Structure 1
Amino acid sequence: MSRPSHASLLDGLSEAPSVRFNNRIYEMKDTGADVITMSLGEAFFDISMPSFDGMPSADIHHYSHSRGVPLLRQKLAKHASVDSGLPVDPDSEILVTAGSKLAIYMALTAVLEQGDEVIIPEPAWVSYPDQVRMCRGVPVMVPWHEGYEAPASYITPRTRAIVVNNPHNPTGRRLGTVELQSLHDLAVKHSLFIIADEAYSEFLPKGERFISADQFDPERDHAIVCKSMSKNYGISGWRIGYLIANRFMIEQINKLQQHIITCAPTILSCYLAENYDMLRETTRPQISRVVDVRNRMAEELAARDIRCLPGDSTFYLFASLGESRLNSEDFATELLSRHKVAVVPGIGYGGTCDRFIRIAVGAEPEERLLRGIDAIASMIAATR
C-alpha cells in the first residue's frame, strides 16, 4: 500500500533561513551553550508582566469580531492615520491579524491569480518569495544593486503587485517621499497593488517621522499596508499584526481570516486595547535606544572595515563579507561553530545577497554585541 504524497507546491518552498538558524540556537541554548544572538528578528524590551485581572472573562476567553476587537481597531486606526496623514476607518479599513506575516500572506492571496508576477526588490525579507509561491504566483526578484527605481523595468503584462518593505529588513533603509510617490505613480500607471510591509514603522531615529505608503493613495486603491504590534512593542511571541486597505479589500481579506484563524487572539487583543497607551509610553524610549545601538554598531563595523548597505532604522545591519572566501551560509555556520555568534546568511534575502550577512542588535546587551562584531571581523580576516 503506497503512502499518499504531499502537494508538489511544497517542493518549491524552502525553510525560512532566519527561523532555521534561530531554531538551531534555541537547541544549542537548551544544552547550555552561550550564544551571542545577533540573528533574532526582534527587540527585547523591559515590559511589565501582563495581568488579565479585572478583564471580562465572558469576552476574553472566546471569539471576537473577525476584523478584530473594536477598541483595538480604534486605537490602531488613530495611530495609523498619523503615519499616512489620512483618516483610517476602524470599522471598515482595518483588520487585526495573528501577526503581520499572516497579513502579508492574506494580502497576496487576495490579489493574485495563478501565474501572476510579484516584483520583489532584494535584499528581500525571507518569506516574500515563498509566500508568493504559496499563492501560486511568480516572484520576480530585483538585484539589490539596481536600486528602488529598477522595478519599473521588470513590469510585464503578468505583473500584479510590488512588495515594499519600509523601514527595511535587513538593511534598515527608509523610503522617502520621492521614492514612495514614484512607486504609487507606477502602481497607477500599470494598475498594480503595492503590498507595503511596515512592520518596523516605530524603529526610526529620534525625531524622524515615518511616512506610510498609503499617504499617496487617499482612496487606498493600490496600497495594502501591513503593520505589526508584535515587532513594534517587543511582543513578537504574541503574534498581533494588522492590515489597512480600502473597504472592499478588507471585506475580501476578512473572508480569508474567517476561514484560516477566525480572529486574532481575543485575550491578547483585549489586553493590548486596554493598555495601548501604556505600552507606547513604555516601549518608545526603548525603541529609540535600540535604534541608537544599531547606528553605533554600524560605526563599529565601519571602524573594522566592514561595509554595510545604507540604512539608519530598525535594529538590523546588512554587512558585507568583504574579502572572505566563504559564501554567506558557510560563513554563518562557521561563525556559530567557532565563535558561538549567530547571524543570518545573506543568501536568504535573495540570490544577489550571498556576499552579506544580516546582523540584528535587539536581543543582546552592547558589550556582547561588540564581542560579536569582533568575532565577525576575525572570521572575515581568517577566511580571506
Structure 2
Amino acid sequence: MIFSLPVQQEPKKYAPVRTLMLYLTEECNLRCTYCFVKKEPKYMSRETALRTLDWVLQRNVSGGEYKVLVNFFGGEPFLAVDLMQEVVDYGRLERPNLYKTFKFSATTNGTLANERVERVVREGQLALMVSMDGGAQANRLRPMVSGRESYSLVRKNLPRLAEWARLCTARVTFTPDNLELLKNVRDVLNVAPVGVALCPVVEADWAGHEQALEDAYAELGEWFAAEVRAGRRPPLEVTWELLRDYQQRLICKRRPQKACPLGESLMAVDSQGNVLPCHRFLHRPQQRLGTVEASELPDERWLYAHLKRAEIPDCETCVARTVCGGGCRAVALDGGYGLNEVHPYHCLLMQAHMRLVARLYAELRHDLNFWSGLAQVPTDTLNQELYQLGS
C-alpha cells in the first residue's frame, strides 16, 4: 500500500531526513583492503526497502522537507539491481497530500554496468559515486573476490556510467600506500568527464608519511593552479568546496558547528531495517536508533543528548579551524576515541588539505578564472552531500 497522509492528521514532529543511506546489501564482489564494511551475504528484503521509504515520508511530513536523497549503498548495491529498480519505481509514485520528491544516487565500485544497471540509472536519474581508486597499481588494494584485478573493468565501465547518470563523481580513495593517486588524479579525467572527490582513509596508519602527503598535495596544487590559469576548471569538487568555505569564513569568521548532518538530516538503514545515525555506524549495534518498523525511534534521544561539537585544545590554533567541524564521529569511535573527540589522523589530513587550499586561494584570488570556477560549486545541498557520501 502506498503511504499517504490524511489531510486532517496532525503529524508528530521529528528532525526530517534529507539524505538516507540505504544498505541494499552488505555483500560485495570486491575485497578492498581499506573498506569498513565486513562483506556479509545480507540483502535487504523488498518489504523492508519499501517500508523504509514510507518511514522517511512519515517522519518528514512535519519537517518542511520537499526533497529526500536516497543513496543506495553497500557492499555493492548493483548486486541488488532488481530491488533497486523496485525502490526507484516506488519512490516515483504520486502520493496524495504529500509533496515530497525522492532523488536517487548510488555509491558503486564500478564493476557492474549491464543493461539492468543502465535501466535503473537512466529511469531513476541516479547520480553515481564511482570508486576509481587509481591505476593498475591499485589492484593490490581492491582485488575481485576471485583475486583477479579490477581496475581494467572499472576503467572500461566509467564512461558508460557517466553517460547514463545525471551526475557522476569518481571517488578516489587514498592511503599511505597509494599517495601517487593525488599526483596522478588527471589520469582519472582522461577516462571520462567526471567530477573527482579525493577521500583519505583516516583509519590508515599515517605516521611517518607526513612529508609524502605534503609533497603529493603540493604537486596536486601545481596542476590545479595551472589548469585554472589556462581557463579550465579542475573538477576536484571537495577542494572547490573547501575553497568556497575558506573564502566565506574569511568574511564571516564563523566556525562550523559540526562535520556532517549526522542524526539530523542524514540517517542510514541497514539491510535488516535497523536505523543508524549514519552509514559508518553499520557495525556498531550499540548506537542503533531503532527500526523502520517502529513509528518512533526510542533511542534517538541518545544521539541528541550526547552529540556535541567535536574538538580538542589544538583546534583554536589549527589552520583548518574555519572549515572543520571535527571529523567523522564513527571513525573516532572505531579508533578508540569518544563520540565528541577527534581522530588525530583526521587533523593531520585536514590540515594538509587546508594548507593546499590556503596556498591556492592566495595564489589565484586575483584570477577571474578562479572566481568563475568557484561560482560553479553546487548550491544544491543534495549534490554537495553526494560528494561527501561513502567516506
| TM, length-normalised to structure 2 | 0.26
Higher relative contact order (CA 8 A, sep 6+): 1
